Chains A and B, each alone.
Chain A
Amino acid sequence: MLGFGAERLRAYMNRLLALLFHQGVLDEQFLQLQQLQDESSPNFVSEVVNIYFHESEKLLRNLRGLLLDREFSDFKKMGSHLNQFMGSSSSIGAQRVRNVCVAFRAASEQSNRAGCMRALELLECEYCYLKNKLHELFQIEQQRILAAAVRYPPVQHPINNP
């Protein structure tokens, strides 16, 4: 029964991934990360992505702080944060987030405060969506691993009830 669950979970994961690729939320770089994961580094993708989340949230807070300063918006500093955000987003394959950063940076280069505000809101939105979907992906993956493990209990040993 639980083995059947593992297969369904895998199919769900694949559909979710396909959707994210189709939407352009993720690109081929994410696939590259998955290929770097193996038995010697079984949590590689989630480790890198969690670092990305941590760094991104700091950058988003900084960007918001810079824009909310009505007296003087340090556009140059915004550009520097955006370069970082762009770089790390492209490193994990977060294509849509990266694209919004590009537009945001263009607005900051023109010192266009209104444009930057709009871009920031869009960026927060895209980031939020990405984070939710990736969390979902990792949760399903965890469940799938558990389900697959229970399906094949060790043969000669008594099964310990959890």
Chain B
Amino acid sequence: MGSDCSSVVAEELHVLAVDDSLVDRKVIERLLKISSCKVTAVESGRRALQYLGLDGEKSSVGFDGLKVNLIMTDYSMPGMTGYELLKKIKSSSNLREIPVVIMSSEKVLARIDRCLEEGAQEFLVKPVNLSDVKRLRDIILQGYENDEDKGYQKRKLQDLSPTSSLARDLTPLKSASASASAQQSCLKRPRL
């Protein structure tokens, strides 16, 4: 989308997808592209933190300068699990406002509770489908619109300045409704 587009809704979300399975990365990438999102797919929590600039390297903006609007991560990954990644992101002042969605092929209630308590936006049971992704995209975009309605400085999805004070000014994104919608989605679709 053009950078001269003033409407937030017309811009594309940039999603960071984290999954150790190449099959799943391909699928989530396609789902996101079809839903008009920009995608960066990485294979591990470590790579995700590198991309986000949380591993001690200087920049807090990704390699190609695009701010991340949503993180979707698999739960079960070797090395760093999605849960551990979630914790690291939520304990970073720069990044804690980025919504994090956990995906898992197993619906373990204790796992779901743990993730939601740690601040996950949602817990999705795999396989993720197009309606899940579209719904997520709409929720996140709605969050940006709500911020505008509340009279915050108009913020573009892509703020290219490396030291964005806007990110720190804004309050956490809709935490109450995040958990409400999360409860809806994480308990849906009993597979098998």
Q: Name the contact of B21 in the complex, choosing from A41, A44, A47, A88 (C-beta under 8 A).
A: A88
| Chain A interface extent, by class | 20 to 34
Q: Is B172 an interface residue (CB 8 A)?
A: no
Name which of A41, A84, A87, A99 has the most chain B CB atoms within 10 A of its CB. A87
Interface string of A21-46 (1 = CB under 8 A from B): 00000000100110110000100100
The segment from B25-33, B51-59, B90-98, B115-123 that touches chain A is B25-33
- A91 contacts B76, C-beta separation under 8 Å: no
| With A32-B127, A32-B129 as contacts: A52 and B31 at CB distance below 8 Å | no
Quick check: is A48 within 8 A (CB to CB) of the other chain? yes
Asked if A108 is at the interface (CB within 8 A of a chain B CB), the reply is no
- Asked whether A83 lies within 8 Å of B26 as measured between CB atoms, the reply is no
User: Are A41 and B30 in touch, CB under 8 angstroms?
Assistant: yes
Let me know if B24 is at the binding interface, CB within 8 A: yes
Q: Is the CB of B30 within 8 A of A55?
A: no
Q: Whole-angstrom distance from the CB of A93 to the nearest CB of chain B?
A: 8
Is B22 close to A, CB under 8 A?
A: yes
Q: Which residues of B contact A41 (CB under 8 A)?
A: 30
Provide the residues of chain B in CB contact with A29, threshold 8 Å.
Answer: 127, 129
> Given A32-B129, A32-B130, A35-B130, A88 and B30 touching (CB < 8 A)?
no
Given contacts A29-B127, A90-B191, contact A55 B21 (CB under 8 A): yes
- The answer to whether A83 and B22 have CB atoms under 8 Å apart is no
Q: Tell me the A44-102 residues at the B interface (CB within 8 Å).
A: 44, 47-48, 51-52, 55, 80, 83-84, 86-88, 90-93, 99
| A to B CB contacts below 8 Å, 9 in the list | A32-B127, A44-B30, A55-B22, A87-B74, A88-B23, A90-B126, A90-B127, A90-B191, A91-B127
Contact B27 A87 (CB under 8 A): no
- Interface residues in B, total, Cβ within 8 A: 20
Total residue contacts A-B, CB cutoff 8 A: 55
The reply on B34 being an interface residue by CB < 8 A is yes
The answer for the CA separation of A115 and B126 in the assembled complex, in Å, is 27
Q: How far is the CA of A161 from the CA of B84 in the complex (A)?
A: 61
| Distance between Cα atoms of A55 and B22 in the complex (Å) | 8
Q: Is the CB of A87 within 8 A of B126?
A: yes
- Cβ of B129 and Cβ of A88 under 8 Å apart? no
When C-beta atoms are compared, the residue in chain A nearest to B74 turns out to be A87
Chain A residues with CB below 8 A from B24, complex form: 87-88, 91
Contact between A51 and B23, CB atoms less than 8 A apart:
yes
Q: State whether A87 touches B105 (Cβ < 8 A).
A: yes
Residues of B with C-beta under 8 A to A35 = 130
**Nearest B residue to A98, CB-CB:** B192
Given A36-B30, A44-B30, A91-B126, verify A83-B76 contact (CB < 8 Å).
Answer: yes
B23 proximity list for chain A (CB < 8 A) = 48, 51-52, 55, 88, 91-92
**A36 to B131 alpha-carbon distance, docked (Å):** 12
Inter-subunit contact B21/A91 (CB<8 Å): yes
**Contact of B191 with A48 in the complex, beta carbons under 8 Å:** no
Specify which of B20, B23, B78, B105 lies most central, judged by the most chain A CB atoms within 10 Å of its CB: B23
Q: Which residue of chain B has its CB nearest to the CB of A88? A: B23
Q: Which residue of B lies closest to A86 (CB)?
A: B105
Bound CA span A92–B25, Å: 12
Pairwise interchain contact A51-B26, C-beta atoms closer than 8 A = yes
B27 touches A91 (CB 8 A): yes
